[in-house]
């Protein structure tokens, strides 16, 4: 038989998943939960702490315990697009195109990342990525002309990976990621609707085709209060 606290945890988790308690709702007080589940305050405290640590609820001193929206959880095991990550947690992915241009005067850094030679150019695509209309990330993509010589603007507003794979028939193999913690500049803060200096997660990656040709160098700034990274390590 499960311990009492696990039975209560399972019950409250089910209610959260079934939207009986929706985002922004306040849970019954600890005293009320004690009466509902016929248990001690210590047991209720333990369950609330578990839910808090999992990012499902948040305690506010003097007010109560509230249901909060889950953060986007990206697993660095399987290569997925932003749109796929959003749909996984039941949110509607979206994007706002800020800039598109063909850049023939790219930096040496971009040349090295994408193994470009004279005559090559990159498509620069700058977008705000959203979940249910809320800004989550700022994307700056550099796409090699060696793999993609032209871009249909109307088709890149959402998932670039879908465009590469379904429209251009590019077979994507892998990405190399570098992840850093940083703070929001004035530009990033304005785009993501946060304060200057707030923490953001900076991720850059190079994506390769099945033939190991680098075709995408992307820099993304994620809101730290809305985004988690899950990494599986093997030994």
- Give me 141's structure tokens: 């993509």
pLDDT score recorded for residue 127? 93
Q: Are strands 172-183 and 227-230 parallel, antiparallel or unpaired?
A: unpaired
How far is the CA of 168 from the CAs of 97, 116, 209, 211, in angstroms?
Answer: 20, 20, 12, 15
pLDDT score recorded for residue 206? 93
Q: How far apart, in whole angstroms, are the C-alpha atoms of residue 136 and residue 129?
A: 6
Q: Are strands 122-131 and 134-144 parallel, antiparallel or unpaired?
A: antiparallel
Strands (E), the chain: 57-60, 64-67, 72-75, 93-103, 122-131, 134-144, 172-183, 199-209, 214-223, 227-230
* 39 contact partners, CB below 8 Å, separation of at least 6: 4, 5, 8, 33
Q: What is the mean pLDDT of the chain?
A: 86
How far is the CA of 198 from the CAs of 9, 136, 166, 187, in angstroms?
Answer: 33, 13, 37, 12
Residues 89, 70 contacting (CB under 8 angstroms): yes
Mean pLDDT of all residues in 159-181: 86
Q: How would CATH label the architecture of 4-67?
A: Orthogonal Bundle (1.10)
Give residue 72's region: left, alpha or beta (phi > 0; psi -120 to 50): beta
CATH 3.40.50.720 fits 72-230, yes or no: no
Residues 9, 51 contacting (CB under 8 angstroms): yes
Q: Which run of H or of E encompasses 113?
A: helix 108-114
Higher pLDDT, 99 or 85: 99
Listed by start position, the domains of the chain span: 4-67, 72-230
**Dihedral sign computed on CA atoms, order 130, 175, 101, 157:** negative
- Res. 81 pLDDT band, cuts 50 70 90: confident
Verdict on whether the full-model pTM lies above 0.85: no
In the predicted structure, residue 91 carries a pLDDT above the cut 60: yes
Q: Please determine whether the domains at 4-67 and 72-230 fall in the same fold group of CATH.
A: no
């Amino acid at each position: 038989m499960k311990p009492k606290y696990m039975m209560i945890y399972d019950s409250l988790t089910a209610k959260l998943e079934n939207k009986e308690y929706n985002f922004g709702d306040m849970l019954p007080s600890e005293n009320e939960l004690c009466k509902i589940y016929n248990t001690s305050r210590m047991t209720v405290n333990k369950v609330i702490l578990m839910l808090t640590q999992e990012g499902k609820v948040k305690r506010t001193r003097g007010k109560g315990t509230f249901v909060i929206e889950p953060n986007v959880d990206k697993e660095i095991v399987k290569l997925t697009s932003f749109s796929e990550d959003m749909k996984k947690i039941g949110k509607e992915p979206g994007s706002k195109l800020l800039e598109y241009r063909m850049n023939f005067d790219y930096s040496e850094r971009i040349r090295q990342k994408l193994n470009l030679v004279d005559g090559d150019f990159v498509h620069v695509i700058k977008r705000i990525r959203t979940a249910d209309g809320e800004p989550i990330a700022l994307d700056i993509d550099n796409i090699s002309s060696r793999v993609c010589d032209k871009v249909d603007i109307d088709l890149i507003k959402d998932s670039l990976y879908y465009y590469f794979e379904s429209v251009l028939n590019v077979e994507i193999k892998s990405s190399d990621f570098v992840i850093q913690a940083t703070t929001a500049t004035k530009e990033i803060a304005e785009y993501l609707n946060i304060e200057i200096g707030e923490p953001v997660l900076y991720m850059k990656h190079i994506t390769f085709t099945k033939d190991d040709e680098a075709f995408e160098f992307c820099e993304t700034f994620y809101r730290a209060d809305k985004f988690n990274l899950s990494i599986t390590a093997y030994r």
